[in-house]
């Protein structure tokens, strides 16, 4: 008899795989895992609009598809405007009685490039118009699919091919664009960060974002063995360290109020996270120190917001 | 197989009508290492199942979870995160 | 009872979208198209039209949202002009290659730089290759009629292609003319409900927009071109049905006083009506001259066009666009279309009417006279133009 669900304490997780096995994601890909988990939370009553990127290229080489849900892709920067059309189309067709109102969840997915760089305009527009959709950003911190070029989500000090570490450069000289704050600034009902290493937290947030009416934004850190240059078996560990060092805190902003999902009494030193990844290999002790200060600063600011606007 | 199709075989708008039809692809060929499960140590916690990026670990009989070698890419995540250290990896043999 | 009302071409196009009971409108305002999204917004706000109006934040998003809406089976409409059409350029290709039947009005506007909000055909010419069915309107009645017809053809299950209806910025979009509006019941007879056969639906999950590795891309493009060329059948069928119900019949190539014409003038869009006045005057004086206009621009009406110019000695093509380094785009295409014909007229090209520069009757007289001169003596200048100082 085929197992329908796997039990984790009180939780039941479906064994259905909406992202079919045999996809083309790299060995040990954190994004693949993030999508797999998110799809389990979303279920099959969805329509997905995906931007060009690892997620799209690894899953849909003509004439094949890894998707077991209705799915569309057009371009790199328009997942949010595409899903706006889907959402408006579904609503009006139901209103005009041309199709039953099945409350199909509208889901947009894009990488960090398709979200915080080329896709930010479409996303901002979709947020402002208040469409009922969930936007999931799969953040592997660079344009990984085209060969590890920098994005505005690449963290300070990371080496990428278009902002490489060199004699006169530390690599990325800017700090990671705070897409979560940008999303929250649109006053949308729900904004959250997630990491596949924290599987139930991720699934809960995706389900919550999908179920809430209006725009929701879930920013998922997606560790990338290929681009971050680490051994493929460390994906879960690296995601955990990202959270435990305060580099990628897990939190939610609901109606402008903050909840920090994990607040360790003492954050691990960032070095534990950085030293596992080849993209940071060039950093000197001093540079790691300054990164530690930046992380302390950012984490401190987040704690202030949590204190000022608690849920 | 794609290179056997003529232009007449193209679907309107190049739509793929069969959901998940890419699942015939044997990504198990990618492997350089394969996971081995020690059932004596296994506590059936299913962490390996849920953390596999390829959904290659499947519930097997008696509540265990085992890698489907057709798909398993040998990333080693399961071996690394197993709390009971029940999974080890060995090198794939040269064929 | 159909009624005769005074409407700008913009409002005529909006009226057509309304009578077509469009489902989703996703548009961004840009001169000289603004009256279209404004009128449609009014209609939705007042409940005259039941549609989802998406006030997108750019033209790129306008077309992107249209694709999303079409993908779930909604009848979609948008409008743009000039720079807006350019901003959505990559999405325009997607609409046709993914076979989404979006209908779009383009209020033809000059392309920057320098910035010009005024009319010419450079925006239309920049999208020649995009795989959309394209028609040009000469007047406001056509703006209404061809928009309605566009839904019928684009959504036909044997076509499933997007359709662009070009109408001249300002000279049509902002000019009021009498337009006959049909009865809703007639429209409903002409235009069936949109039933997109591949609508995204959880009951039957499909993938739209898989990528094309080299092993397959070429085949997809050939398939697209074959389908595009074959759409001509439905284009003509649609016009026949339109004529049978509404009494106005349209053709791929419009002929005006072409019987036994030795000289033919080819114009596109609204300036055709000005040129016709000149043709009338010359015919009255006994000159064997006529006018043709390409109503159907894409797929190019090779058959009808070659048939129409048979017997003419001179064909003068008036372009409202410079294809830089090459010359008049319509001129180039028309010449190429006639290359294998034996006999064929001498084809000459003259460019004018750029960026809102008007063409008077005198200007068209010059075009005809100068065109005949060039045909006889050969071209003298790098570029033959009308109404450009110096």
Report the CATH number that the domain containing residue A158 is assigned in CATH: 3.40.50.970
Residue of B nearest to C197 (CA): B12
E-state strands within A51-166: 71-73, 105-111, 134-139, 165-166
Q: Rounded to an integer, what distance in angstroms lies between the CA atom of residue C43 and that of residue C25?
A: 11
CA distances from C272 to A120, A140, C57, C178 (A): 44, 56, 35, 18
CA–CA distance, B15 with B5 (Å, rounded to integer): 15
ipTM: 0.97
Which chain B residue has its CA at the smallest distance from A224's CA?
B53
Q: Is residue C47 part of a domain?
A: yes
User: Does any CB of chain C come closer than 8 Å to the CB of residue A55?
Assistant: no
Can you read off the two tokens belonging to residue C368?
A: 């005809």
Shared domain check, C277 and C231: no
User: Are C68 and A84 inside 8 Å of each other by CB?
Assistant: yes
In 3D space, the residue among A231, A199, A235 whose CA is nearest the CA of residue A29 turns out to be A235
CA distance A282 to A285: 10
The chain C residue lying nearest B6, using CA atoms, is C219
- Alpha-carbon span C301 to C288, nearest angstrom: 24
**A20 located within any domain:** yes
Chain C closest CA to A243's CA: distance in Å? 35
pLDDT at position B94: 66
pLDDT tens-digit series, residues B25-84: 999 999 999 999 999 999 999 999 999 999 999 999 899 999 999 999 999 999 999 999
Q: Point out the domain boundary residue: C182, C217, C246.
A: C246
Cβ distance C224 to C212 under 8 Å? no
* B14 contacts in chain C (CB < 8 Å): 97-98, 209-210, 212, 220
Range of the domain at C306: 253-377
3-state secondary structure of C93: helix
Cα dihedral sign, C247-C248-C252-C256: positive
For residue C173, being part of any structural domain is answered with yes
How far apart are the C-alpha atoms of C12 and C181, rounded to whole Å? 9
Residue from the list B16, B50, B76 with its beta carbon closest to the beta carbon of A232:
B76
Whether residue B95 is predicted with pLDDT greater than 80 in this model: the reply is no
**A46/C213 CB distance under 8 A:** no
Tens-digit pLDDT profile for residues C70-120: 999 999 999 999 999 999 999 999 999 999 999 999 999 999 999 999 999
Best B14, B20, B89 residue to mutate vs chain A (most A CBs within 10 Å)? B20
Domains annotated on chain B, with CATH: 26-91 (3.30.70.20)
Per-residue confidence (pLDDT) for residue B3, from 0 to 100? 84
Examine the fold and report which residue of C212, C246, C280 is the final residue of a domain before the chain moves on.
C246
Contact between B58 and B68 (Cβ < 8 Å): yes
What is the per-residue pLDDT for C386? 98
- Select from B3, B7, B16 the Cβ nearest to the Cβ of C207: B16
Interface contact B22, partner C, CB < 8 A: no
What is the CB neighbour count within 10 angstroms for residue C176?
13
Instruction: Identify whether residues C326 and C365 lie together within a single domain.
Output: yes
Residues B61, B42: Cα–Cα separation, whole Å: 13
Chain C residues closer than 8 Å to A132 by CB: none
CB contact under 8 A, B23 and A60: no
| Distances B21 to A66, C58, C89, C223 between C-alpha atoms, Å | 6, 36, 32, 22
- Token pair recorded at residue A14: 């479906």
Q: pLDDT by residue for chain C (390 residues), tens digit each?
A: 899 999 999 999 999 999 999 999 999 999 999 999 999 999 999 999 999 999 999 999 999 999 999 999 999 999 999 999 999 999 999 999 999 999 999 999 999 999 999 999 999 999 999 999 999 999 999 999 999 999 999 999 999 999 999 999 999 999 999 999 999 999 999 999 999 999 999 999 999 999 999 999 999 999 999 999 999 999 999 999 999 999 999 999 999 999 999 999 999 999 999 999 999 999 999 999 999 999 999 999 999 999 999 999 999 999 999 999 999 999 999 999 999 999 999 999 999 999 999 999 999 999 999 999 999 999 899 999 999 998
Q: Is C61 on the interface with B (CB under 8 A)?
A: no
| Residue A188, min C-alpha distance to chain B (Å) | 31
Residue A8 lies in a domain: no
Listed as ranges, residues in chain A with pLDDT below 70 are 1
Yes or no: say if C108 and C166 are a contact pair by the CB < 8 Å rule.
yes
C390 within some domain: no
Say if residue C78 is in the same domain as residue C116.
yes
The phi, psi pair for A303, rounded to 5°, reads -60, -35
Q: Do C206 and B2 touch (CB under 8 A)?
A: no
Residues of A with Cβ-Cβ distance to B22 under 8 angstroms: 20, 22-23, 59-61, 64-66
* Structural element, H or E, at residue A6: strand A5-8
**Phi, then psi, of A134 in degrees rounded to 5:** -115, 130
- Residue C178 is given by DSSP the state E
User: Which residues from B are below 8 Å from A68, CB to CB?
Assistant: 19-20
Per the structure, the complete domain to which residue A104 belongs is given by 16-308
Residue A56: helix, strand or coil by DSSP? Answer: helix
Structural domains in chain A (count) = 1
- From residue C187, give the alpha-carbon distance in Å to each of C20, C138, C225: 7, 22, 30
């Amino acid at each position: 008899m085929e197992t329908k669900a796997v039990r984790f304490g009180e939780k039941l997780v479906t064994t259905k795989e909406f992202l079919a096995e045999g996809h083309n994601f790299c060995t040990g890909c954190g994004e693949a895992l993030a999508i797999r988990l998110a799809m389990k939370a979303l279920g099959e009553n969805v329509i997905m609009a995906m931007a060009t990127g690892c997620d799209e290229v690894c899953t849909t080489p003509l004439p094949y598809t890894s998707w077991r849900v209705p799915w569309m892709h057009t371009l790199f920067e328009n997942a949010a405007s595409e899903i706006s059309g889907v959402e408006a189309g579904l609503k009006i067709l139901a209103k005009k009685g041309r199709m039953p109102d099945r409350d199909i969840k509208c889901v947009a997915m894009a990488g960090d490039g398709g979200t915080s760089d080329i896709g930010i305009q479409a996303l901002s527009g979709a947020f402002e118009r208040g469409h009922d959709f969930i936007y999931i950003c799969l953040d592997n911190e660079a344009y990984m699919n085209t060969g590890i070029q920098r994005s505005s989500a690449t963290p300070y000090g990371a080496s990428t091919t278009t902002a490489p570490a060199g004699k006169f450069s530390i690599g990325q000289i800017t700090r990671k664009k705070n897409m979560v704050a940008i999303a929250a600034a649109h006053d949308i009902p729900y904004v959250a960060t997630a990491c596949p290493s924290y599987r139930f937290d991720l699934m809960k947030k995706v389900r919550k974002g999908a179920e809430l009416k209006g725009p929701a934004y879930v920013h998922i850190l997606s560790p990338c063995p290929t681009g971050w240059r680490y051994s493929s078996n460390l994906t879960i560990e690296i995601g955990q360290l990202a959270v435990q060092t305060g580099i990628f805190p897990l939190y939610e902003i609901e109606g402008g109020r903050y909840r920090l999902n994990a607040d360790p009494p003492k954050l691990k030193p960032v070095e534990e996270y950085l030293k596992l990844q080849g993209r940071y290999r060039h950093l000197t002790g001093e540079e790691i120190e300054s990164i530690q200060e930046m992380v302390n600063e950012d984490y401190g600011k987040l704690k202030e917001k949590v204190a000022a606007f608690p849920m | 197989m794609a290179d056997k199709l003529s232009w007449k075989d193209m679907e309107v708008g190049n739509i793929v009508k069969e959901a998940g039809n890419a699942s015939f692809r044997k990504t198990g060929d990618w492997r350089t290492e394969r996971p081995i499960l020690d059932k004596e140590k296994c506590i059936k916690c299913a962490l390996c199942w849920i953390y596999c990026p390829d959904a290659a670990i499947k519930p097997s009989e008696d509540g265990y979870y085992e890698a489907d070698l057709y798909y398993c890419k040998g990333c080693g995540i399961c071996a690394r995160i197993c709390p009971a250290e029940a999974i080890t990896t060995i090198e794939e043999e040269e064929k | 009872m159909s009624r005769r009302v005074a409407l700008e071409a913009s409002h005529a196009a909006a009226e057509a979208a309304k009578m077509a009971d469009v489902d989703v409108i996703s548009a961004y305002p840009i001169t000289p198209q603004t009256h279209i999204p404004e009128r449609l917004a009014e209609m939705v706000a007042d409940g005259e039209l039941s549609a989802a109006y998406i006030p997108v934040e750019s033209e790129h998003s306008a077309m992107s949202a249209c694709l999303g809406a079409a993908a779930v089976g909604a009848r979609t409409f948008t409008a743009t002009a000039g720079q807006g059409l350019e901003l959505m350029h990559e999405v325009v290709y997607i609409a046709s290659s993914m076979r989404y039947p979006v209908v779009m009005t383009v209020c033809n506007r000059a392309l920057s730089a320098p910035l010009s909000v005024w009319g010419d055909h450079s925006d239309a010419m920049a999208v020649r290759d995009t795989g959309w069915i394209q028609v040009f309107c000469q007047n406001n009645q056509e703006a209404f009629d061809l928009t309605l017809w566009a839904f019928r053809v684009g959504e036909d299950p044997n076509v499933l292609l997007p359709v662009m209806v070009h109408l001249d910025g300002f000279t049509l979009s902002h000019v009021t003319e009498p337009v006959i509006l049909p009865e809703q019941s007639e429209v409903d007879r002409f235009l069936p409900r949109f039933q997109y056969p591949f609508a995204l639906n959880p009951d039957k999950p499909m993938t739209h927009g898989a990528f094309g590795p080299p092993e397959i891309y070429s085949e997809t493009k050939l398939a697209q071109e074959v389908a595009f060329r074959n759409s001509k059948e439905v284009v003509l069928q649609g016009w026949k049905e339109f004529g049978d119900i509404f009494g106005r019949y349209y053709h791929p190539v419009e002929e005006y006083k072409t019987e036994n014409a030795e000289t033919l003038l080819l114009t596109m869009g609204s300036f055709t009506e000005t040129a016709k006045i000149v043709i009338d005057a010359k015919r009255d004086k006994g000159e064997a001259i006529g006018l043709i206009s390409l109503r159907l621009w894409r797929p190019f009406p090779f058959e009808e066009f070659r048939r129409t110019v048979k017997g003419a000695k001179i064909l003068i093509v008036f372009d409202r666009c410079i294809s830089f380094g090459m010359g008049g785009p319509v001129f180039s295409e028309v010449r190429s279309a006639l290359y294998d014909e034996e006999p064929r007229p001498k084809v000459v090209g003259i460019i004018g009417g750029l960026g809102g520069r008007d063409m008077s009757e005198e200007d068209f007289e010059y075009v005809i006279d100068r065109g005949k001169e060039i045909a006889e003596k050969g071209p003298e200048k790098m570029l033959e133009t009308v109404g450009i100082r110096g």
